[in-house]
């Protein structure tokens, strides 16, 4: 509660009035129209499963990590997904260090509802040994800068991090086949998570006067708004979660209109995230090619011979292909005899 | 699992758009300025309101409006398996926030500057729909305390199971993990103040269906309270 108050205190009556009256003529402080989203940039860290999202001044980082744990008793063959939020005091003066405040809890819960309860991540594929070992996926969301609409940014950061995350491959071994062997990434290629769909959070701000609505509110607009609604949809237009926790009442028709707008925005944002993830993936793939064949830069002069060798091996391979069929023929012959 | 029988009846014998029995009692807590017990079937919630009174923590005082605080808790014996839950877990923190913001929107806070209103809500028996029962109880307690309000918020939940929209889910239906929605409405203004939805992939059109059911139900609640 104190956080919210700290936010409003910095505002003068004139500033409030300015934002409200500008909205009446469909203008916003940062030059957007009421239903324009801010520019979204998604960056990725060096390691898998870390993403950094920037939307205007808002800056959120998402990290995904995995750990082998015992499953919950009521779901022995499902992995788990948990979300933790960290509102760093450097992000906003009203964030206090220590226990997560109300807004941090709300943010975590809404992201959780969108991702986990809509079953976006396939938890059954995270099972290694039913009842014994499953992967527990942990998403950490760090708010680095609060420029408003943390929820959407955090949701995108969580998604982007999940999409690039790779968990080490495991296999069962030992005498009784109950021992879990975790293969290091050098040995076996780590596996990506299975995401069924991408739930995108889109937030609307409602203002007291004349039922003004604005999408993706900035920090200033958040201080003025009377109510907020976050809708989580995927690109197919399925609604995964809605959160409108009190505040200014809105008409049913306005909610339906917001949902329609949100489904369009969700499509756009999905495209953007996918594009960013794709370019990251190709980038890492290229890096790998550079790392392994150290021979390429070395045998510049011997390239010809190498090529010949390669071709030879190819030819050899081709030659081996008919072999099995010959064997088969021989076998059938022996059978005939 | 089958939640709606071929005859169109639910597990507890209700029709899909039928609510559970509602009972409300005002003045349940003698010490409080306003209090209420609200029951929806087996869900039972008690709410107490203190205030408007002097702000306890001076630094939180607001010069232009009243400070509203809310605390939600669940009694240890309220659920089937009795367990000690840590106070201030994520779920109860979120519900406290939701109830506070919902109530703040309907209380005329500008009439009571430099004062504080405390709302305490406790779940005595949980059988699904605790969130909406809490909001209904809090509204009644605020009304009992004589606090000026724009409107009485009424709330109800609905879900979608066996391709049938169901009104006012009980615990068994709630834990089926189907999509469900909690709606809080200001009936006189005909506006939605609270809307929470948890779902697994459902298209928009279904929302309208659920929505209409809830609106009917909230009218009904209002009528009963009146």
Within 8 A by CB and 6+ apart from B221, the residues are B22, B136, B154, B156
Cβ separation of A239 and B197 shorter than 8 Å? yes
pLDDT of the residue at A9: 54
> What are B30-54's pLDDT values in tens digits?
999 999 999 999 999 999 999 899 9
Which range is least confidently modeled, A26-35, A317-326, B129-138, B183-192?
A317-326
Q: Binning pLDDT at 50, 70 and 90, where does residue B79 land?
A: confident
On chain B, the residues whose CB falls within 8 A of the CB of A109 are 90-91, 94
Cβ separation of A239 and B207 shorter than 8 Å? yes
Calpha distance A317→A299 (Å, rounded): 24
Q: How high is the mean pLDDT of chain A?
A: 82
What angle, 0 to 180 degrees and rounded to 10, lies between the N-to-C axes of helices A252-291 and A150-164? 40
pLDDT of the residue at B124: 94
**Chain B residues contacting A via beta carbons under 8 Å:** 60, 62, 67, 69, 90-91, 93-94, 96-105, 177, 181, 184, 186, 189-204, 207-208, 211, 215
On chain A, the residues whose CB falls within 8 A of the CB of B199 are 117-118, 238-241
Point out which residues pair with B184 in neighbouring strands.
B155, B194
State the smallest CA–CA distance between residue B181 and chain A in angstroms.
8
Cβ separation of A102 and B189 shorter than 8 Å? no
Q: Where do the domains of chain B lie, and which CATH numbers do they carry?
A: 22-225 (3.30.230.70)
Asked if B70 and B86 count as a contact pair (C-beta separation under 8 A), the reply is: no
Residue whose structure tokens are 């996918």: A274
Cβ separation of B197 and A2 shorter than 8 Å? no
Instruction: Identify the residue with better confidence: A80 or A11.
Output: A80
Q: H/E/C letters for each residue in chain A?
A: CHHHHHHHHCCCHHHHHHHHHHHHCCCCCCCCCCCCCCCEEEEECCCCCEEEEEECCEEEEEEEEEEEECCCCCCCCCCEEEEEEEECCCCCCCCCCCCCCHHHHHHHHHHHHHHCCCCCECCHHHEEECCCEEEEEEEEEEEEECCCCHHHHHHHHHHHHHHHCEECCEEEECCCCCEEEECCCCCCCCEECCECCCCEEEEEEECCHHHCEEECCCHHHHHHCCEEEEEEECCCCCEEEEEECCCCCECHHHHHHHHHHHHHHHHHHHHHHHHHHHHHHHHHHHHHHHHCCCHHHHCCCCHHHHHHHHHHHHHHHHHHCHHHHHHHHHHHHHHHC
Count of CB atoms within 10 A of residue A191's CB?
Answer: 13
The partner residue sitting opposite A247, judged by closest CB among B69, B193, B198, is B193
Which range is least confidently modeled, A264-268, A272-276, A307-311, B89-93?
A307-311
From the list A6, A8, A9, A3, the residue with the least C-alpha distance to A98 is: A3
% of chain B surpassing 70 pLDDT: 87
**Does the pLDDT value for residue B181 go beyond 90?**
no
On chain B, the residues whose CB falls within 8 A of the CB of A207 are none
From the list A81, A157, A77, the residue with the least C-alpha distance to A119 is: A81
State the smallest CA–CA distance between residue A144 and chain B in angstroms.
22
Please give the model's pTM, rounded to 2 decimal places. 0.83
**What are the residue ranges spanned by the domains of chain A?**
2-269, 292-336
> What are B102-151's pLDDT values in tens digits?
999 889 999 999 999 999 999 999 998 899 999 999 999 999 999 999 88
Asked if A119 and A193 count as a contact pair (C-beta separation under 8 A), the reply is: no
CATH class, A2-269 region: alpha beta
On chain B, the residues whose CB falls within 8 A of the CB of A229 are 195
Residues 119-148 of A with CB under 8 A from B: 119
Calpha distance B175→A197 (Å, rounded): 23
Which range is least confidently modeled, A71-85, B45-59, B108-122, B178-192?
B178-192
State the smallest CA–CA distance between residue B13 and chain A in angstroms.
28
Residues 221-250 of A with CB under 8 A from B: 226-227, 229, 234, 236-250
% of chain B surpassing 90 pLDDT: 39
Query: B67-74 and B115-125 as β-strands: parallel, antiparallel, unpaired?
Result: parallel
Most B CBs within 10 Å, among A246, A254, A255, A258, to test the B interface: A246
The partner residue sitting opposite A106, judged by closest CB among B94, B204, B208, is B94
For residue B201, what is the nearest residue in chain A, using CA coordinates? A238
Size of interface A-B (CB pairs under 8 A): 117
The partner residue sitting opposite B105, judged by closest CB among A106, A243, A249, is A249
State the smallest CA–CA distance between residue A246 and chain B in angstroms.
4
């Amino acid at each position: 509660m104190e956080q919210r108050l700290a936010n409003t205190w910095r505002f003068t009556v004139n500033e409030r009035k300015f934002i409200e009256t500008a909205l009446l003529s469909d203008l916003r402080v940062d030059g957007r129209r009421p239903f324009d989203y801010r520019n979204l940039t998604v960056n990725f860290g060096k390691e898998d499963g870390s993403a950094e999202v920037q939307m205007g001044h808002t800056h959120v980082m998402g990290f995904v990590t995995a750990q082998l744990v015992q499953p919950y008793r009521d779901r022995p063959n499902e992995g788990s997904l948990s979300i933790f939020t960290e509102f760093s005091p450097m992000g906003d003066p009203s964030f206090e260090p220590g226990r997560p405040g109300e807004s941090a809890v709300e943010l975590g819960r809404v992201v959780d509802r969108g991702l986990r309860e809509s079953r976006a991540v396939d938890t059954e594929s995270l099972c290694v040994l039913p009842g014994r070992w499953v992967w527990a996926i942990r998403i950490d969301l760090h708010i680095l800068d609060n420029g408003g609409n943390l929820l959407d940014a955090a949701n995108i950061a969580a998604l982007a991090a999940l999409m690039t995350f790779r968990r080490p491959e495991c296999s069962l071994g030992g005498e009784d086949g109950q021992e879990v062997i975790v293969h290091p990434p050098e040995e076996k290629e780590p596996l990506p998570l299975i995401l069924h769909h991408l739930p995108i959070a889109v937030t609307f701000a409602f203002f007291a006067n004349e039922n003004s609505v604005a999408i993706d509110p900035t920090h200033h607009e958040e201080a003025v708004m009377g109510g907020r609604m976050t809708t989580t949809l995927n690109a197919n237009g399925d609604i995964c979660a809605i959160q409108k926790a009190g505040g200014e009442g809105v008409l049913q028709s306005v909610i339906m209109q917001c949902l329609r707008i949100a489904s369009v925005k969700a499509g756009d944002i999905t495209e953007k995230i996918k594009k960013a993830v794709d370019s990251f993936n190709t980038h890492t793939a290229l890096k790998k090619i550079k790392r392994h064949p150290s021979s390429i830069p070395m045998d510049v002069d011997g390239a010809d011979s190498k090529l010949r060798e390669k071709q030879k091996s190819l030819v050899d391979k081709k030659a081996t292909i008919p072999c099995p069929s010959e064997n088969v023929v021989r076998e059938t012959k022996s059978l005939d005899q | 699992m089958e939640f709606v029988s071929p005859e169109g009846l639910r597990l507890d014998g209700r029709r899909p758009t039928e609510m559970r029995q509602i009972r409300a009692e005002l003045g349940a807590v003698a010490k409080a300025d306003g209090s209420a017990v609200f029951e929806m079937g087996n869900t039972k919630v008690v709410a107490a309101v203190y205030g408007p009174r002097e702000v306890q923590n001076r630094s939180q005082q607001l010069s232009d409006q009243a400070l509203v605080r809310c605390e939600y808790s669940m009694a240890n014996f309220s659920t089937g398996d009795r367990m000690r839950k840590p106070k201030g877990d994520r779920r109860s923190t979120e519900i406290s926030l939701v109830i506070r913001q919902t109530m703040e929107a309907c209380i005329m806070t500008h009439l009571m500057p430099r004062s504080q209103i405390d709302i305490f809500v406790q779940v005595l028996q949980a059988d699904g729909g605790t969130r909406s029962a809490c909001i209904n109880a809090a509204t009644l307690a605020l009304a009992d305390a004589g606090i000026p309000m724009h409107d009485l918020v009424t709330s109800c939940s609905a879900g979608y199971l066996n391709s049938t929209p169901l009104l006012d889910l009980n615990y068994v239906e709630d834990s089926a993990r189907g999509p469900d929605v909690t709606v809080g409405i200001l009936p006189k203004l005909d506006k939605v103040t609270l809307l929470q939805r948890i779902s697994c992939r459902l298209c928009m059109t279904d929302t309208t269906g659920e929505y209409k059911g809830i609106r009917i139900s909230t009218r009904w609640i209002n009528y009963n309270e009146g």
